[in-house]
Amino acid sequence: MSTSGLAVLRAVETPLLCLGALTAAWLSVCSVYRLLSGLRVWVLGNGRLVSPAKLGQWAVVTGATDGIGKAYAEELARRGFHIVLISRSQEKLDDVSKSIGDKCGVQTKTIAADFSTTDIYPKIEEGLAGLEIGILVNNVGVSYGYPEFFLSVPNLDSFINTLINVNITSVCQMTSLVLPRMVERKKGAILNISSASAMAPIPLLTVYSASKAFVDFFSRGLEAEYQSQGIIIQSVLPSFVATKLSKIRRATLDKPTPQRYVAAALNTVGLQSQTSGYFPHAVLGWVTTVLLPAKLVTSYMMGMLMSQRAYYLKKQKQG
């Protein structure tokens, strides 16, 4: 190497060493911060925040008679909240209401409402009048009967209206009913149940995936608007949970029971404005959104759901 080349190397050697040291230090700081944040969320949690004394006496849960919604109602009642249960079937509402009242000794109130329609909100508003609502859980949701191409969905027009009313309109309307009183009191929490399917477009469940992406974006925007006023808005993105909606019958570590999932998710309130709610789901979300290309994830989901679709249609022909 020429003398001039050596001189250039010596001239840049020290700045490059400094840059490398700074980069290593920055990566180390970021890694330690993420580790400590992970320990704070997934090990220590924030369970003490979710209490009537800190948020308000009543919790309102939509879609409260099955799955995740029922689990939220039961866990919040266990923590001392009085519960307003909102769902379509009065018979199921009465059963869940009695069960919660007997086990937890809290007050319960039921409102029968079909969220596939849009004329229900005056009735709900009347039912919530005068209550100090500390938590709203926007859980009610509907998905596909089976994976299907958009144009081949049975009764497509009706399906679109129902899914949008249940998954999107309900979140906006329920929030508009409850949020004003929370702002007046400068405390309260709104937990909007989105889905891991909101993290990337899911073919053959396209409308459902898109509707849950709306819930996630709505929640994150609302959180930015109202966090300075003492209101917690959280977007919850569960992956597979053993519920009737997911058609998973047996719980596993990565597919927990609704009760196990909700107990973990409530401990993230106030710590994460967007959460997977459950540590194994958080790992899965990180892998699918950070490590893997979006096209690969979409391609994998297409193949998996095509298999499910073929199995369902085959059973329909045989049955």
Three-state DSSP class for residue 227: helix
Q: Which residue has the tokens 């249609």?
A: 313
Q: Are 173 and 166 a contacting pair, CB within 8 Å?
A: no
Q: Please report, to the nearest 10 degrees, the dihedral formed by the alpha carbons of residues 304, 309, 310, 316 taken in order.
A: 150
- Bridge partners of residue 108, in order along the sequence: 83
Residue 208 annotated among the catalytic residues of the structure: yes
Q: Are 115 and 170 a contacting pair, CB within 8 Å?
A: yes
- Bridge partners of residue 138, in order along the sequence: 192
| CA angle at 241 for the pair 238 and 245, rounded to the nearest 5° | 100
* CA dist 100 → 91, 201, 244, 272 (Å): 14, 37, 20, 28
Catalytic residue among 144, 208, 261, 278: 208
Hey, which residues are catalytic here?
208
